[in-house]
Chains A and B, each alone.
Chain A
Amino acid sequence: MNWSWIPAHGSEIWAYAKDSALLGITPALLGLVISLPLGIVAARWRWFNAPVLGVVSVLYAIPSIALFFALIPALGLTDTNVIVALTLFSLCVIFPNVVAGLHAVPDSVRQSATAMGYGALRRLAMVELPLAVPVIIGGLRVAVVSSISLTSVSQLIGVYSLSYYLIDGYQRQFPTEIYVALVLIIVLAVACDLVLVGVRRVLTPWMARS
């Protein structure tokens, strides 16, 4: 372990850490934006659920490196390539959670909302989605962490992030880089997860604290 290497490369490490964060968080957020309408439709019309779930599951089964390569003709060796691929992967954990979150709204609550004079859209926005928040955020947490971990593979198509140090450290037989990258990737994943837990707490003051 060469401690002096760290301060000497401080700004470079910081830049790669930001790249990792961007590549990890953006796909999960895009995945949420895509999953919300799909999930709402699938929760309402159940016949829509199975085909969408099938497609997102098949996408998830594709090895990440294969998907990165497959997107090269369209998107090149770019951040966009990685973000698109990871977004497609994130659908597999976020979409089912949107559906499950909406299905978890108790029938009695939905029924009394209707009986109180909510129209379908208003009920969705003001009763069902707020109640689905904990389950949806659960999916988001898995998506962010798995995206951050998958960014290490994106190194292979030349999209740099903290994982650059993993490859570089290995090739140069310089373990300090590997340790630094490993620790920072874990810290980043844990930090993102904690932020999402915090967001959920703020959005759900109505949940019993266990």
Chain B
Amino acid sequence: MITFERVTKRYQDGTVAVDALDLEIPAGKTVVLVGPSGCGKTTSLRMINRLVEPTEGRILLDGQDVRAEDPARLRRGIGYVIQQTGLFPHRTVQDNIATVPLLNGWRRPKARARARELLELVGLDKALARRYPYQLSGGQQQRVGVARALAADPPVLLMDEPFSAVDPLVRASLQDQLITLQTQLHKTVVLVTHDIEEAIKVGDLIALYRPQGRLAQFGTPERLLGAPADDYVAGFVGFDRGIRRLTFFPAAGLELSAGPVLGADATVAKAQATGEPWILIVDDGQPRGWVPQARLASLSGDTPLDQLLADGIGHTFPVRGGSLRAALDAAVISPAGQAIGVDEDGRVVGVATFDQLRAAIQAADRAADQADEAAAAADLATHRSADEPGARR
């Protein structure tokens, strides 16, 4: 756990980079510091490993003031990844990764073996071990940077705009990898970004900064999207926050109906008997296409449905593991205005209309509100609000 206690950083020219910051970063979580440039998020990060010293207040790492320890020794226990990678150009990939183990006195063969393990962990080919940084792509260099930070297995990982310098596709894969790594490693990750999308994607908790180093809101991504503390937060998380937060609501709670779903061997007469405006034709469980009732009117009742030309389905959503956002999107894009839920094998489970979606969203909202109230009550009980302290100041 990392605790900021009324930490202020004031520079000699009077600029206040961080202003009386109180923040508690729980162990094993990914906490994202996000805000506009110059808001003090990077300064906050660098005060943790003492690249910057606070003017007032203190920072505790597992209860111990970071200034109690020799800086070099402290830093060897804290991984550090930066945007420009900061790889040592004169060392091979494996020796870059082995840096901290070597500083800690490991023998070279052991440190290099560890380096090659880490290459695999971050999804790089071991054959890259003997290359020099200039021979790698930007994305590969960034992965090496992450491997180097993890080499001595530090409990804390600091990441300063780690994915900002690569193209969007590579960025997405690096973000996915960080999420995957976290499920295995459970490091305390503090990540700085100016990209709220990135914060929402990778963060367990988000600390949103205002300019001049004040905290605007601290909470889960769901909370920032669903209950922004003020207009500043609402503006920062974006105009489509209502839809985006549906990402955090599982589709499992959505009521599905099977009424419009018919096999390809069913007849037109059977389809007409359903009374549904649209019929979803499935073949061996797989969705084939939507057909409107109007198209059936001129056909004889015993025509099998697979003779009909069906409209496309847009896309489906996974019932298990999918979100209400995916379901809503599937409904919007569908010609029938209904979302098709499928199982792991892509077989149709049922469909949901906008009415059913609305009911599910409202139910999820109520559940989230109750959880928030419970959390707020717990906060009051401990007199220590982890949620939105900045907004109340």
Contact = CB atoms under 8 A, between A and B. Distances in A.
B11 interface: no
Given A116-B100, A117-B72, A117-B76, A108 B90 contact: no
A119 B75 contact: no
Contact of A111 (B72, B86, B87, B132): B86
13 contacts: A108-B86, A109-B87, A111-B86, A112-B86, A113-B88, A115-B78, A115-B158, A116-B76, A116-B99, A117-B72, A118-B103, A130-B90, A206-B89
Given A114-B51, A206-B132, A208-B134, A109 B88 contact: yes
B142 to A, nearest CB: 12
Given A205-B132, A206-B134, A117 B89 contact: no
Nearest to B84: A108
B49 interface: yes
B91 A206 contact: yes
Contacts of B88: 109, 113, 127, 131
Contacts of A207: 89, 134
A208 B82 CA distance: 23
Given A106-B84, A108-B84, A112-B80, A117 B100 contact: yes
A152 B3 CA distance: 70
Nearest to A117: B76
Nearest to B151: A116
A204 interface: yes
Contact of A114 (B75, B100, B133): B75
Contacts of B316: none
B73 interface: yes
A119 B158 CA distance: 19
B85 interface: yes
Contacts of B148: 116
A116 B99 CA distance: 8
Nearest to A112: B86
Contacts of B78: 115
Interface in A121-175: 127, 130-131
Interface string B204-222: 0000000000000000000
Residue from A111, A113, A116, A204 with most neighbouring chain B CB atoms (10 Å): A116
Contact of B82 (A112, A117, A119, A206): A112
B104 to A, nearest CB: 8
A117 B132 contact: no
Interface string B99-115: 11001000000000000
Nearest to A130: B90
A206 B82 CA distance: 21
A118 B72 contact: yes
A204 B73 CA distance: 30
Interface string A188-210: 00000000000000001111100
Interface string B117-160: 00000000000000011100000000000001000000000100
A117 B84 contact: no
Nearest to A127: B88
B103 A117 contact: yes
A115 B79 CA distance: 8
Interface string B45-89: 000010100000000000000000000111110101011111111
A131 B80 contact: no
Contacts of A119: 72
Residue from A106, A112, A118, A131 with most neighbouring chain B CB atoms (10 Å): A112
A49 to B, nearest CB: 22
Given A115-B80, A117-B76, A206 B90 contact: yes
A131 B90 contact: yes
Given A108-B82, A115-B78, 19 more contacts: A106-B86, A108-B86, A109-B86, A109-B87, A111-B86, A112-B82, A112-B85, A114-B51, A115-B51, A115-B86, A116-B75, A117-B74, A117-B100, A118-B72, A127-B90, A130-B90, A206-B90, A206-B92, A208-B134
A25 B91 CA distance: 30
A115 B132 contact: no
Contacts of B90: 127, 130-131, 204, 206
Contacts of A130: 90
Contact of B75 (A106, A108, A117): A117
Nearest to B91: A206
A116 B100 CA distance: 6
Nearest to B46: A115
B165 to A, nearest CB: 11
A112 B146 CA distance: 12
A208 B83 CA distance: 22
Contacts of A111: 51, 82, 86
A116 B145 CA distance: 11
B50 to A, nearest CB: 9
A113 B133 CA distance: 15
Nearest to A203: B90
Q: Which 8 A-B pairs have the closest CB atoms?
A: A112-B86, A117-B76, A108-B84, A115-B80, A117-B75, A108-B86, A206-B132, A206-B90
